[in-house]
Structure 1
Amino acid sequence: MSHEDYLGSRRFPGLDGLRAIAATMVIFYHFGGPNWTFLSGWVGVYIFFVLSGFLITTLLLREQDRTGRISLSNFYIRRVFRILPPYLVILGGIVAFVILRGEFFTRDFPHALKYYLTFLNEFFPGSGGNGSDNFFSGSWTLGIEEKFYLVWPFLLVAIGIGAAKRKFLLVGTAMVILLALVPLTTGGWALGTSKVAIYTSTIHYFILAGGCLLAILLHYRRGYAVLKPLTHPLAAIPIAAAFGLMTANLDRLWTETQQNLLLLVGYAVLTMLLLIVLVSPGPLRWLLGTAPMRFVGERSYSLYLLQGPVHFVVVQAVPGLAQNRTVSALTVFLVGLAIADLIHRWVEKPLIDVGKRLIARKEARREERQAPPRPAEPHAEPKPEPAPAPATSSAS
């Protein structure tokens, strides 16, 4: 694929399919029982991290090329109307549900909401709560992402990402600044087997930054030239095989090697390579870009957040599904997808459109303010009446 073709791609349907796989991996890992542990489904969140960093940075870089600037206000309008509506609807539904069941206090929501409403989700597990399942613990990834995007776009603007020269040096400087600040707000590099340490680990921000770095390399001609061989359809074979093998063996490697940071970095790199394959023409992009894969992928955000409450309701309705097995995971997936579809149609898409309209009106007002004033028209002198045309005969 040529660099021009890549820059001309307005949508990457294969990435929707990858979102679908990531969300499905997480659900089947949590509720599918021993038959699905081979998926190492918990690493699906790292696929989301790489995807998120790549897509957000790509949008910002293309905005820079298109308009000559990066509008931070437009970025945050898009983020607010994309992230908050489904998040607040699902969280509000959970709160209403536990209040009706008389479990608002026993499930520690007065304490939990301080974290969930300020996007400090990843710190809740280690905050000393009573440990009751509040159905929203999976939202810890949102806390990581939202803090990353409070900083990264500002750095892109501050270093002048669109500068004609020294852009790679500037980008590298920005990433070093960002990642040097990250350990100050996280639990550090320790992982081990502690869930609390994993939630707050610094590594998450480096994985997000990996997606950002891939977007930068692909956006500029020099970086794209290095990665261009990976856009060949045959490159998909070794990359997809390596990604699948590492996914299937990550749990075992995690336990046997104790090289947890290196394993996550390696998985992030393989995910980055897989993204190159999926934005390039080929059978794998076609497969993950099919309508069913796009359908699930477009609803994967809500589906991911719904897995906890949906599992609880499913088990209450059918107690036999309390044991984690394939039918339990499949039921949670299908019920969650149905609810996610309603949220996508009635909440997510309409609010995204509201954000787009706000940005359009804001940009229209900006253009009006920047437009040069029209020169006043000079006073027009009255024109003399034209002389009547000479009479002519029909013969002339």
Structure 2
Amino acid sequence: MTSLTVRPAPETTGRPEPARPPRQTRLRALDGLRLIAALMVAAYHYGGRGGDVTQAWGGSPKEQFPTLHTYFAYGPLGVHIFFVISGFVICMSGWGRPLRSFFASRASRLLPAYWVAVILVTAVFALPMVAYKAVSPSDALVNMTLLQYPLGVDRVLGVCWTLWVEIRFYALFALCVVLPGVNRRRVILFCAVWTLAAAMAQSAQEPLLDVVLMPEYAPFFIGGIGLYLVHRDRRDAYAWAIVAVSFLVGQHYAVQSLWNATDPNAFAHRTSFGIVLVVAFGFVAVGAIALGWLNWADWRWLTVAGALTYPFYLVHEHLGWVVIHALHRDLGLASAATFALTVASMLLLAWLLHRFVEKPLTPRLRAVLAKAR
């Protein structure tokens, strides 16, 4: 969802200037990690849960994947990994940028593929041969604003709730850090204040504070920001402290929301150890990239993988169910083949969206927004 080009900028912090990452270095390993996170979410939507996907398979995914479904059930943690990556990349892309440029970059990155995905899924679900119910025309129009989740409107894309989380993070970072000017001290203060305020909001149990401060997801964004500070200077003790506290708090929220061992009706029983392990993987993987340990993973195809991640993430869930139904129930393909072909078809659709929607429209929208008064 974000640009991965390092943009070092001068800062006035009163401390010796740390070693800076090389100018215009592409962090291709981060692209690859984003695709891994997206595939984790897709595995969950196709084989790690009950609900609407059972209609596509003609029965519970437990029957299709007797062993793998227990691992697919950990797929929601791919979203948490996304949030760590987002914290890293948003801090990186916002460094040295004025507010208008930051806003233009974020809006032009999110909106073109999103608008087309909403139209596409709405149109497919309106077909008479598709079993899933389309949202009303009015609700579909509201979905174009990205405000359907807080407004309580039926969602066209099941994953759009994560975009609402991302947008609130962008707003907080823009107002508190980008608007006054990004520097190390301001970023550290932002992380510290947000961490403390989110904990207070959790204690207060005030809905408005929860909406603004997002206690459940804040540690992952803050941890990613801390890892970007590590990327700029691996000797920065404050940055390491931010990462450590964020992991400790973040794993708590992840276990609290996903641990279901005591639920007799759970689709699959996740263990608290497994949840902590996946969260740790996300922090360690981004940390390894921040420290340059994965600079050897500099293959060009990873850039393509990173470009496909966002459109794939948008379309894979609902359209994937349609493909599963067609391949498995209509054509009688085996479960494994259906799963693999569904993922491949969604990646192909993601490439088409990237090639014919994002590539031509993103730079044009960015230019328009950057010049607008």
- Per the TM superposition, whether the score is higher than 0.5 is yes
Kindly tell me: are residues 313 and 158 of structure 1, through their superposed partners in 2, closer, same or farther at Cα, counting changes over 3 Å? Answer: closer
* Structure with the higher fraction of residues in helix conformation: 1
**Counterpart-to-counterpart distance in 2, 1:31 and 1:173:** 38
Amino acid at match of 1:37: T
Could you say what secondary structure the match of 2:19 adopts? helix
Once the two structures are TM-superposed, the CA of residue 155 in structure 1 deviates from its matched residue by 0.3
Kindly tell me: are residues 352 and 3 of structure 1, through their superposed partners in 2, closer, same or farther at Cα, counting changes over 3 Å? Answer: farther
- Runs of 5+ in structure 2 lacking a partner? 1-16, 48-60, 244-250, 264-269
1:145 paired residue number:
166
Could you say what secondary structure the match of 2:358 adopts? helix
**Is the 1:31–1:326 contact (alpha carbons within 8 Å) kept by the matching residues of 2?**
no
- Of 68, 71, 74, 1:38 maps to 71
**Is the 2:122–2:140 contact (alpha carbons within 8 Å) kept by the matching residues of 1?**
no
**Is the 1:28–1:330 contact (alpha carbons within 8 Å) kept by the matching residues of 2?**
no
Amino acid at match of 1:155: C
Question: Aligned-residue CA RMSD in angstroms?
Answer: 4.5
Once the two structures are TM-superposed, the CA of residue 331 in structure 1 deviates from its matched residue by 1.4
Kindly tell me: are residues 279 and 222 of structure 1, through their superposed partners in 2, closer, same or farther at Cα, counting changes over 3 Å? Answer: closer
Structure of higher CA gyration radius: 1
2:21 paired residue number:
6
Between Structure 1 and Structure 2, how many residues are aligned? 317
- Of 309, 315, 330, 1:306 maps to 315
Kindly tell me: are residues 106 and 21 of structure 1, through their superposed partners in 2, closer, same or farther at Cα, counting changes over 3 Å? Answer: closer
Kindly tell me: are residues 295 and 162 of structure 1, through their superposed partners in 2, closer, same or farther at Cα, counting changes over 3 Å? Answer: closer
Amino acid at match of 2:91: T
**Counterpart-to-counterpart distance in 2, 1:167 and 1:73:** 19
Kindly tell me: are residues 28 and 268 of structure 1, through their superposed partners in 2, closer, same or farther at Cα, counting changes over 3 Å? Answer: closer
Once the two structures are TM-superposed, the CA of residue 97 in structure 1 deviates from its matched residue by 2.6
**Counterpart-to-counterpart distance in 2, 1:345 and 1:354:** 14
Amino acid at match of 2:361: L
Kindly tell me: are residues 347 and 226 of structure 1, through their superposed partners in 2, closer, same or farther at Cα, counting changes over 3 Å? Answer: closer
TM-score (norm 1): 0.64
Once the two structures are TM-superposed, the CA of residue 113 in structure 1 deviates from its matched residue by 3.6
**Counterpart-to-counterpart distance in 1, 2:144 and 2:342:** 26
2:117 paired residue number:
90
Once the two structures are TM-superposed, the CA of residue 16 in structure 1 deviates from its matched residue by 0.5
- Of 85, 89, 93, 1:59 maps to 93
Kindly tell me: are residues 261 and 292 of structure 1, through their superposed partners in 2, closer, same or farther at Cα, counting changes over 3 Å? Answer: same
- Of 316, 326, 349, 1:317 maps to 326
Kindly tell me: are residues 172 and 21 of structure 1, through their superposed partners in 2, closer, same or farther at Cα, counting changes over 3 Å? Answer: closer
Kindly tell me: are residues 225 and 139 of structure 1, through their superposed partners in 2, closer, same or farther at Cα, counting changes over 3 Å? Answer: closer
Once the two structures are TM-superposed, the CA of residue 3 in structure 1 deviates from its matched residue by 5.7
Amino acid at match of 1:175: W
Kindly tell me: are residues 355 and 221 of structure 1, through their superposed partners in 2, closer, same or farther at Cα, counting changes over 3 Å? Answer: farther
Once the two structures are TM-superposed, the CA of residue 161 in structure 1 deviates from its matched residue by 3.8
1:384 paired residue number:
none
Task: After the TM superposition, list the runs of 4 or more consecutive aligned residues in structure 1 that deviate by more than 6 angstroms.
Answer: 102-105, 257-266, 321-324
Structure possessing the higher relative contact order (Cα contacts under 8 Å, 6 or more residues apart): 1
**Is the 1:121–1:137 contact (alpha carbons within 8 Å) kept by the matching residues of 2?**
no
- Of 357, 362, 369, 1:347 maps to 357
**Counterpart-to-counterpart distance in 2, 1:323 and 1:123:** 40
TM-score (norm 2): 0.68
Identity %: 25
**Counterpart-to-counterpart distance in 1, 2:349 and 2:301:** 16
2:11 paired residue number:
none
Could you say what secondary structure the match of 1:4 adopts? coil
Kindly tell me: are residues 112 and 359 of structure 1, through their superposed partners in 2, closer, same or farther at Cα, counting changes over 3 Å? Answer: closer
**Counterpart-to-counterpart distance in 1, 2:239 and 2:189:** 19
Could you say what secondary structure the match of 1:318 adopts? helix
Kindly tell me: are residues 225 and 119 of structure 1, through their superposed partners in 2, closer, same or farther at Cα, counting changes over 3 Å? Answer: closer
1:22 paired residue number:
37
Kindly tell me: are residues 223 and 122 of structure 1, through their superposed partners in 2, closer, same or farther at Cα, counting changes over 3 Å? Answer: farther
Once the two structures are TM-superposed, the CA of residue 76 in structure 1 deviates from its matched residue by 0.9
1:377 paired residue number:
none
- 1:209 has 2:234 as partner: no
Kindly tell me: are residues 221 and 47 of structure 1, through their superposed partners in 2, closer, same or farther at Cα, counting changes over 3 Å? Answer: closer
**Counterpart-to-counterpart distance in 1, 2:334 and 2:76:** 15
**Counterpart-to-counterpart distance in 1, 2:121 and 2:176:** 36
Amino acid at match of 1:170: L
